[in-house]
Amino acid sequence: MKTKTYRSTKVLALAFLSLIIAGTVKVSAQESEGRYVPETDPLVLEKLEKWQDLKFGLLMHWGTYCQWGIVESWSICSEDEGWCRRKNPNYVEYKREYENLQTTFNPIGFDPAKWAKAARNAGMKYVIFTTKHHDGFCMFDTKLTDYKITSQKTPFHTNSKANIAREVFDAFRAEGLWAGAYFSKPDWHNENYWWPNFATPDRNVNYDVTTYPERWENFVKFTQGQIMELLGGDYGKIDILWLDGGWVQKMTREEVYKQVTSPGYKFTRVQNQDIRMDELVVKARQKQPGLIVVDRAVHGKNQNYLTPENRVPEKALPFPWESCIIAGGSWSWLPNAKYMSGRDAVQLLVDIVAKGGNLLFNIAPGPQGQWHDDAYRLLEDIGGWMKVNSEAIYGTRALAPYKEGKVCITKKGDKTLYLYYMADNDEKMPAQIGMSAFSLPVGAKVKMVGTETSLKWKKTESGFVINIPEKIIKNPPSKYVWVMKATF
Ligand code: GLC
């Protein structure tokens, strides 16, 4: 991920939504064909197939930064970005105050069972939780640093649910969801990444790795050690390891040169930051067989699926992918976060599913361990739609032409198709719904999901039209997106 992507992620999700739904955002180089290296481990392949059936997950960004209601981590990085301003203009003081947030973090309202229920009722099937973001604060009981939720310096350490990551994973598993660990490879608190001996010009390691190889080696050991703590047993079954901070990666001299000389590139400290991922992944899968590894934005076999950020690809991608998208405000908790509407969320999910992807929907907890009421309302609204229509979400696969005007299409197995009509606000259901670039198989039986009435349909020149009877028009089985099922 380069600067541009980072900047764009800070813009409110709502501003993106019209673009997202219209599907006008360009496919990035990262998503172009050839950027995906298929997995070969059969257990991982099997798991990836199941993961593609799940379609809908929850991402949570939570750390001490929520106490200030600011963007996660980024304000301690020296990159000069408009979306991320420090409230104290003295950087040295600011950073000290930021790290001191550890001493006041006490989210006594933390009740992950409540979140897990809300997520399950909305139809979510997996959770990805920030065990550690770039600032280095650990939301789990690591033995490798004291900058953590269970430190004696953190008031919450006396709470019976102090090991927050474990509580989150347990609570969501209890509701039947898969557990995924977000983990930032860069660590801006660790002296082997940002060595206090030097200033920190940007997000990268701030010393020369080839001049100080022992220091880098200590960092590699630390990072691998922390990831193995998370995967080694205390945190139970982990299904997905979601690694962020793609700039921490192995690079040849040529690759470094290419980056540094590319137009608009402004980081000074780009270098080979090899944490020996291949070796780590082998160890990780010994503990967690079949583990899905997402080394985000790092080309190669350790990126089992791709993760377009805050946008939806223009068309279906020929490999597993997941759009991570902010439900309200920012990745991190903002006091006045505005959430997207139920209609926008459901249509976003359908648009993604029609292109063969998963939606990872971000909700951020606040300083007391609370979610906004609007977050619960939004999940309930989505859940209302899912109760009627979820069969047209789970287990489906993309099918060309994916989308035509307001109609999307998917398939499930060889004998079922789903057609989705994206309704505008207050739109009356049309008396005829069809496509011109796809033809239903002869003899297909069609119903609207959530009703029992068989619908009449006919072929047109190169497509089909389905007739919707007045009684369904008057009494639609759900809001936002009307779904038809064709079996044959
Ligand atoms: C962006 C943000 C980062 C966040 C991530 C989630 O890369 O900069 O803070 O964790 O998006 O996808």
Residues with CB under 6 A from ligand 1: 1, 6, 9, 61, 72, 244, 309, 324, 331
Summarised one tens digit per residue, pLDDT across range 197-208 is: 999 999 999 999
Instruction: Render pLDDT for 278-326 as a digit per residue (tens, 0 to 9).
Output: 999 999 999 999 999 999 999 999 999 999 999 999 999 999 999 999 9
Structure tokens at 210: 């080839």
From 244, 305, 310, 359, mutation site for ligand 1 pocket: most ligand atoms within 8 A of C-beta = 244
pTM: 0.93
Work out which ligand 1 atom sits closest to the CA atom of 5. Answer: 7
Question: Among 331, 334, 359, which residue has the most ligand 1 atoms within 8 Å of its CB, making it the best to mutate?
Answer: 331
Distance in Å, CA 293 to ligand 1 centroid: 17
Question: What is the reported pLDDT for 56?
Answer: 99
408-425 pLDDT per residue, tens: 999 999 999 999 999 999
pLDDT tens column, 40-60: 999 999 999 999 999 999 999
Ligand 1 atom nearest the C-alpha of 184 is 10
Inter-residue contact 355 to 317 (CB < 8 Å):
yes
Distance 364 CA to ligand 1 centre (A): 12
How many C-alpha atoms does 50 have within 13 Å on its Cβ side?
A: 15
Question: Predicted confidence band at 9 (pLDDT cuts at 50, 70, 90)?
Answer: very low
Mutate to test the pocket of ligand 1, among 5, 309, 323, 333 (most ligand atoms within 8 A of CB): 309
Question: How many angstroms separate the CA atoms of 267 and 291, rounded?
Answer: 33
Q: How far is the CA of 176 from the centre of ligand 1 (A)?
A: 26
Q: Tell me how far the alpha carbon of residue 186 lies from the centroid of ligand 1, in angstroms.
A: 12
Q: How remote is the CA of residue 439 from the centroid of ligand 1, in Å?
A: 41
pLDDT digits (tens, 9 = 90+) for 244-255: 999 999 999 999
Mean pLDDT across the chain: 93
Q: Which residue has its alpha carbon closest to ligand 1 atom 4?
A: 331
Distance from residue 73's CA to the centre of ligand 1 (Å): 10
Residue 27: the pLDDT is 42
Decide: 54 and 178 in contact? Cβ < 8 Å. yes
Encode pLDDT of 444-466 as tens digits: 999 999 999 999 999 999 999 99
pLDDT tens digits, 339-369: 999 999 999 999 999 999 999 999 999 999 9
Give the Å distance between the CA of 221 and the centre of ligand 1: 24
DSSP string, 129-181: EEEE-TT--BSS--SS-S-BTTSTTSGGGGSTT-SHHHHHHHHHHHTT-EEEE
Residue nearest to atom 8 of ligand 1 (CA): 6
All structural domains of the chain: 30-248+274-390 (3.20.20.80), 397-487 (2.60.40.1180)
Which range is least confidently modeled, 16-20, 211-215, 391-395, 432-436? 16-20
Q: Does the structure show a pLDDT above 70 at 8?
A: no
What are the φ and ψ backbone dihedral angles of 177, each rounded to 5 degrees? -90, 155
